């Protein structure tokens, strides 16, 4: 059977990037970057970095007795900034992790038959120091062995290895020379930097190597190891310039996801927060577009991957942000994690902290990107990946819905991978869409009901207003406020998304109009059978007149019509097109497919037949000879 697809030369279509991380495929991602936005971002990064460095240098000049670096009770600190005349220091946030998050189900022989271990995938790590790249766990398994860790800014005269960096890197990619130390993505590669100039270096890696995921297990603690308050009270929960900066990076590069630790101030108390026992996240941990990871205390999981028990580690820093957003976003297992250390090429150690939970999550997400790419020939946008893992996370049963301890719950890599697989056959929905100014997006689906139904939207929001210096500001950092609603089969009941109550943060989350989060999730525990309708709208005026968003839907016996299934699986990029137009889609069966392009006047300007031997079809078209416009 033949199927026909026509592409209008104006390309008013969703932009989707399809890749495996080869050099040619990285180039495809890089070609989609908006040069004007990139230039503006680089100027912003340079301004923030230069102003911060000047404050630090001036302070050190005026206070020669103060050291830039110091060690307190064995923990290293470095001056990060000077605020209100006081130095602000930052420090690190100090095979069971894979089991807890069900990432082992994705590995070779893991039960799902996926054999995903990060083959030909790359990620970035920023740390105080560098990982010991010669450790046996980082070998590629060949003889002579070669390391899968690249030390990008290592200086043999001044740089050093650290246990923390080596342990974090091992949690990400250790090959399992010691089976108990096997990492989340044991065949992946990583590039390791120290934390100086992290925003500039991340941006450069995105530009040069199409970086998808970075792990950053450090931050500004509330107190130092001697009990002195390190961060000004207004900084906790504040959407400050660091949060704004990292949101700008994410907005400019929509396939990049920053994964970072929540911090280890869970047992710290201070005066002036939004509520006692809450509001302990600082700096970029309060950004909207990243994924902030809490530390679950050795969750118990059955051999089938079902969660048996879940508690938070008491040291894990609590949210929310001052404007009431769900932060942290998700939890990983960072308690008593066994991994590589820097003492020798065969040394190991057991560490605890959100520093360990973060790479547990980051490495797992890399495998989900690898899996989606293997099925679709392209990667997920960061908002889609974030929305997917928050959609499929295991909730803390003591408090239904999101909370300031676990976020949306414990990462469940197995369930996330299953949803990706179901999406290819129409059994669930993962869509990347665009909402234009004044429009409403609708989608109907049928379900047999009975067991839980979930609808999630997530979007990479433009950077919000800098609230630096403001104590407990409830001004929403959200710029483009999208809303999702779900109508039941009769149209009489409208289901609403979850939200936190910032003025009563001790209470469980409720359902209602969410005006602060850029991820909204609707849960219906016992849906009736029938046809449901999703509606996505927006409030006010959308910045830049449109907003990309991602939609994830799971339901019992979920189904779309054949036309909708074909439409959602048909993707072209980049938009606007330069020289090469790429396309990919899944067909309902194998066979020849006619690809035709018509111009704005309906004239046929290109025709070709794709003789595919599988139901997944992809290719490219040379557009360089066509007229512009």
Give dist(CA 225, CA 40) in Å, integer: 39
Classify residue 229 by its DSSP letter. Answer: B
The confidence band for 612, taking pLDDT boundaries of 50, 70 and 90, is low
Each residue's pLDDT tens digit, 166-179:
999 999 999 999 99
Count of residues in the chain = 629
Q: How many CB atoms lie within 10 A of CB 2?
A: 8
> What are the backbone dihedrals phi and psi of residue 21, each rounded to the nearest 5 degrees, phi first?
-85, 55
The confidence band for 586, taking pLDDT boundaries of 50, 70 and 90, is low
The confidence band for 14, taking pLDDT boundaries of 50, 70 and 90, is very low
Each residue's pLDDT tens digit, 390-447:
999 999 888 899 999 999 999 999 999 999 999 998 999 999 999 999 999 999 999 9
β-strands 3-8, 591-598: how paired?
A: parallel
From the candidate CATH numbers 3.90.79.10, 3.40.50.200, 1.20.1070.10, 3.90.1200.10, the one assigned to the domain spanning 92-422: 3.40.50.200
Instruction: Assess contact for 134 and 146: CB atoms under 8 A.
Output: no
Instruction: Assess contact for 418 and 372: CB atoms under 8 A.
Output: no
Average pLDDT estimate for 262-278? 96
Higher pLDDT residue, 504 or 608? 504
| Closest listed residue to residue 103, CA positions, set 367, 382, 299 | 367
Each residue's pLDDT tens digit, 320-361:
999 999 999 999 999 999 999 999 999 999 999 999 999 999
In angstroms, how far is CA 322 from the centroid of its own chain? 21
In angstroms, how far is CA 169 from the centroid of its own chain? 18
- Does position 200 have pLDDT exceeding 80, yes or no? yes
What is the pTM assigned to this prediction?
A: 0.87
Residue-level pLDDT at 7: 42
> What are the backbone dihedrals phi and psi of residue 616, each rounded to the nearest 5 degrees, phi first?
-100, 125
Asked whether the bond before 144 is cis by omega within 30 degrees of 0, the reply is yes
Each residue's pLDDT tens digit, 90-136:
987 666 689 899 999 999 999 899 999 999 999 999 999 999 999 99
Instruction: Assess contact for 586 and 615: CB atoms under 8 A.
Output: yes
Q: What Cα–Cα distance (Å) separates residue 565 from each residue in 206, 411, 457, 570, 615?
A: 32, 28, 19, 9, 13
Least confident of 290-299, 388-397, 578-587: 578-587
Q: Where are the domains of the chain?
A: 3-19+427-622, 92-422
Each residue's pLDDT tens digit, 420-434:
999 998 999 999 999
SS3 for 600? coil
In angstroms, how far is CA 8 from the centroid of its own chain? 32
Residues 6+ apart with CB under 8 A from 155: none
Residue-level pLDDT at 18: 34
Residues 6+ apart with CB under 8 A from 50: none
- Does position 11 have pLDDT exceeding 50, yes or no? no
Chain position carrying tokens 């557009």: 623
| Cα angle 160-162-166, degrees, rounded to a multiple of 5 | 120
Residue-level pLDDT at 167: 98
Q: What Cα–Cα distance (Å) separates residue 58 from each residue in 23, 231, 240?
A: 43, 19, 22
Higher pLDDT residue, 29 or 515? 515
Q: How many CB atoms lie within 10 A of CB 383?
A: 24
- Does position 73 have pLDDT exceeding 60, yes or no? yes
Sign of CA dihedral 380, 30, 131, 383: negative
Helices (H) and strands (E) in the chain, counts: 10, 31
Q: Span 3-19+427-622: which CATH code?
A: 2.60.120.380
Give dist(CA 50, CA 288) in Å, integer: 24
Give dist(CA 320, CA 343) in Å, integer: 38
SS3 for 115? coil
Token digits of residue 177: 């020379």
Domains 3-19+427-622 and 92-422 alike in fold: no
The confidence band for 33, taking pLDDT boundaries of 50, 70 and 90, is confident
């Amino acid at each position: 059977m033949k199927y026909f697809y026509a592409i209008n030369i104006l390309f008013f279509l969703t932009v989707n990037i399809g890749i495996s991380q080869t050099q040619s495929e990285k180039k495809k991602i890089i070609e989609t970057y908006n040069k004007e936005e990139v230039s503006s971002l680089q100027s912003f990064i340079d301004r923030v970095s230069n102003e911060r460095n000047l404050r630090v240098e001036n302070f050190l000049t005026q206070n020669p007795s103060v050291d830039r670096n110091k060690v307190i009770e064995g923990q290293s600190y470095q001056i990060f900034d000077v605020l209100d005349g006081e130095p602000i220091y930052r420090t690190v946030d100090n095979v069971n992790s894979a089991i807890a998050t069900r990432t082992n189900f994705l590995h070779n022989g893991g039960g799902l038959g996926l054999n995903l271990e990060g083959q030909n995938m790359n990620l970035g790590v920023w740390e105080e120091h560098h990982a010991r790249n010669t450790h046996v766990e980082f070998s590629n398994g060949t003889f002579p062995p070669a390391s899968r860790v690249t030390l990008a800014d290592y200086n043999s005269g001044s740089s050093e290895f650290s246990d923390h960096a080596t342990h974090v890197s091992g949690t990400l990619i250790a090959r399992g020379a010691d089976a108990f130390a096997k990492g989340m993505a044991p065949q992946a590669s990583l590039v390791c930097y120290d934390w100086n100039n992290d925003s500039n270096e991340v941006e450069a890696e995105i530009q040069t190597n199409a970086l998808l995921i970075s792990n950053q297990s450090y931050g500004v603690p509330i107190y130092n190891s001697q009990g002195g308050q390190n961060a000004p009270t207004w900084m906790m929960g504040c959407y400050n310039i660091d949060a704004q900066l990292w949101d700008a990076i994410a907005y400019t590069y929509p396939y990049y996801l920053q994964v970072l630790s929540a911090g280890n101030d869970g047992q710290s108390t201070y005066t002036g927060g939004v509520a006692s026992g809450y509001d302990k996240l600082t700096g970029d941990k309060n950004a909207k577009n990243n994924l902030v990871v809490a530390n679950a205390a050795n969750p118990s999981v059955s051999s089938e991957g079902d969660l048996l028990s879940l508690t938070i580690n008491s040291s894990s820093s609590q949210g929310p942000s001052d404007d009431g957003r769900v932060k942290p976003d998700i939890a990983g297992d960072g308690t008593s994690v066994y991994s590589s250390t820097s003492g020798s090429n065969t040394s190991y150690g057991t560490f605890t902290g959100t520093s360990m939970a973060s790479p547990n999550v980051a490495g797992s997400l890399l495998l989900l990107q690898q899996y989606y790419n293997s099925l679709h020939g392209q990667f997920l946008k960061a908002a889609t990946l974030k929305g997917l893992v928050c959609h499929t996370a295991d909730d803390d049963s003591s408090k239904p819905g999101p909370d300031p301890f676990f976020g949306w719950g414990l990462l469940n890599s197995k369930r996330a991978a299953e949803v990706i697989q179901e999406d290819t056959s129409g059994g669930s929905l993962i869509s990347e869409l665009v909402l234009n100014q004044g429009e409403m997006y609708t989608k109907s689906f049928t379900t047999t009901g009975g067991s839980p139904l979930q609808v999630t939207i997530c979007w990479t929001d433009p950077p919000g207003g800098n609230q630096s210096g403001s104590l407990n500001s409830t001004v929403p950092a959200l710029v483009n406020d999208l809303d999702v609603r779900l109508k039941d089969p009769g149209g009489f009941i409208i289901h609403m998304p979850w939200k936190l109550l910032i003025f009563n943060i001790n209470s469980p989350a409720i359902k209602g109009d969410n005006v602060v989060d850029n991820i909204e999730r609707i849960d219906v525990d016992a849906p009736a059978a029938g046809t449901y309708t999703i509606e996505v709208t927006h409030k006010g005026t959308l910045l830049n007149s449109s907003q990309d968003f991602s939609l994830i839907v799971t339901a019992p016996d979920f189904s779309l019509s054949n036309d909708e299934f074909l439409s959602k699986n048909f993707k072209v990029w980049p938009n606007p097109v330069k020289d090469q137009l790429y396309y990919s889609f899944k067909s309902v069966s194998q066979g020849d497919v006619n690809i035709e392009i018509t111009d704005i006047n309906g004239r046929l300007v290109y025709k070709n037949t794709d003789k595919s031997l599988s139901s997944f079809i992809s290719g490219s078209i040379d557009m360089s000879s066509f007229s512009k416009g």
